[in-house]
Amino acid sequence: MSAPAVQVRGIASAVPTTIATVEEGVRRFGEAALKIANSTGIRNRRVAGPDMCTSDLCLAAASRMLAGLGWAPHTIDVMLMVTQTPDYVLPATSCALHAKLGLSKHCACLDVGLGCSGYVVGLWLATSLLQSGAARRVLLLAGDTISRTVSSDDRSVAMLFGDAGTATALEVGVEDDAGFVFEIGTDGRGAEHIMIPAGGFRHPVRGPADPGGERRSEHLSMNGAEVFAFTLREVPPLVRSLLDKAHWTLDDVDSVVMHQANRFILEHLGKKMEIPAHKVVIELEGFGNTSSASIPLAITQSLGLELERSRRRLLLAGFGVGLSWAGAALSCGPMFVPPVMALASDGSTTDLQRGRE
């Protein structure tokens, strides 16, 4: 007996209302900030204040999702939360969110500690649970307030990261053309290249980290050259493997949505893999790199209207912290994709204009 088909029923995203602009970067770092912005393609970033957590953004997205689909909370069998910026050391953020969403006591909740590759890993886990019969409906939350981990004096990362929370609804479906193919990988030898060294139990005491004093040990540090080299080594084979497994060519793919690291990397990868430029989704200018939320946020903003109206073939590729990577080839839509919401600190939301309206 073949595994049941899995359907993505909707994707919703929320970002904070507060905007950090490139002009603020210029005031701090001088003209170098413009050079960075021109390379990364990031001008404005949505950043969470000290009173806003990833769970708040994901709650807004998930509430909109459940209401839009008309799904009663008690029908959710599993909620997965992909984040590296949890509310607490314990309990899991998914458990902390469980009651706020009104989920049933029979709903399994668990967190996944991944970033750039995490959304696709979450899709893989959700799909596996649905295909195994362990669940009929899964709510996948992916988000980070990664800007809160960055030193504002660290020029290498201070102008890169934005914050977002997303919710994706999946369930067992009846359609034949499920087309879900995954490829997951890890290279832990590069773990140190994207790291927050302190604050866990290896180095619980926080303190100075680098001789230059740009950041402390509880801040995010990233070796951009090592991460770029890793990306060049791993992403093209990942995409080739996905196409092979799905029996697709690039002509069959409607859009390629990679982790929104920065424009320079995405354009280089697109060119290297000979992906037509119009198929490579780049949604960085107003959001920045939003870690685990970057792929669903880019889908919501850039492809929302298409996915509400029609079935699309998407190729997803996440890569980064771990170091890890994950790719998916999936056919999905029509589905529920509301506009990206901006969440204020008082809990109110407003819809942003979509990218391709």
Q: How near is the Cβ of 159 to another protein at its closest, in Å?
A: 12
- Which DSSP string corresponds to 171-200? EE---S----EEEEEE-GGGGGGEE--SSS
CB of 267 to another protein, least distance (A): 10
280 DSSP β-pair partners:
256
Chain positions contacting another protein, by CB under 8 A: 35-36, 39, 156, 223-226, 228-229, 232-233, 264, 268, 271-272
If the CB atoms of residues 133 and 276 are measured against another protein, the closer one turns out to be 276
> Rounded to an integer, what distance in angstroms lies between the CA atom of residue 109 and that of residue 131?
18
Give the residue with the Cβ less far from another protein, 228 or 248.
228
Beta strand ranges found along the chain (DSSP E): 6-16, 19-20, 45-46, 78-82, 108-112, 137-144, 164-172, 181-186, 194-195, 221-222, 255-258, 312-320, 324-332, 341-343, 349-351
Q: Which is nearer to another protein, 40 or 300 (CB)?
A: 40
**φ, ψ (nearest 5 deg) of residue 116:** -60, -35
Q: Is 203 annotated as catalytic?
A: no
**Residue 127: its H or E element:** helix 118-132
Show the tokens assigned to 242.
């996905």
For another protein, the closer of residues 88 and 264 by Cβ is 264
Give the side-chain half-sphere CA count within 13 A for 82.
32
Which residues neighbour 343 within 8 Å (Cβ) at sequence distance 6 or greater? 14, 15, 16, 17, 52, 56, 57, 60, 349
Of the pair 63, 262, the CB lying nearest another protein is at: 262
Give the shortest CB-223-to-another protein separation in angstroms.
Answer: 7
Report the residue number, 205 or 277, with the smaller CB distance to another protein.
277
Q: Is there a contact between 42 and 80 (Cβ–Cβ < 8 Å)?
A: no
Which CB, 81 or 265, lies closer to another protein?
265
Q: Dihedral angle at the C-alpha atoms of 240, 278, 320, 345, nearest 10 degrees?
A: -150
Contacts of 296 (CB under 8 A, 6+ apart): 11, 13, 119, 142, 166, 168
- Determine contact, residues 288/45, Cβ cutoff 8 Å: yes
- Identified catalytic residue from 58, 116, 193, 219: 116
- Residue 274 C-beta: closest distance to another protein, Å: 12
CB of 234 to another protein, least distance (A): 10
Annotated active-site residue in 107, 259, 262, 332? 259
What is the SS3 assignment for 310? Answer: coil
Is 38 a known active-site residue? no
The distance of closest approach from Cβ of residue 224 to another protein in the complex, given in angstroms and rounded to an integer, is 5
> In angstroms, what is the minimal distance from the CB of 154 to another protein?
11
Is 116 a residue of the active site? yes
- Pick the closest to residue 304 from 339, 328, 278 (CA basis): 339
Positions annotated as catalytic residues are 116, 259, 289
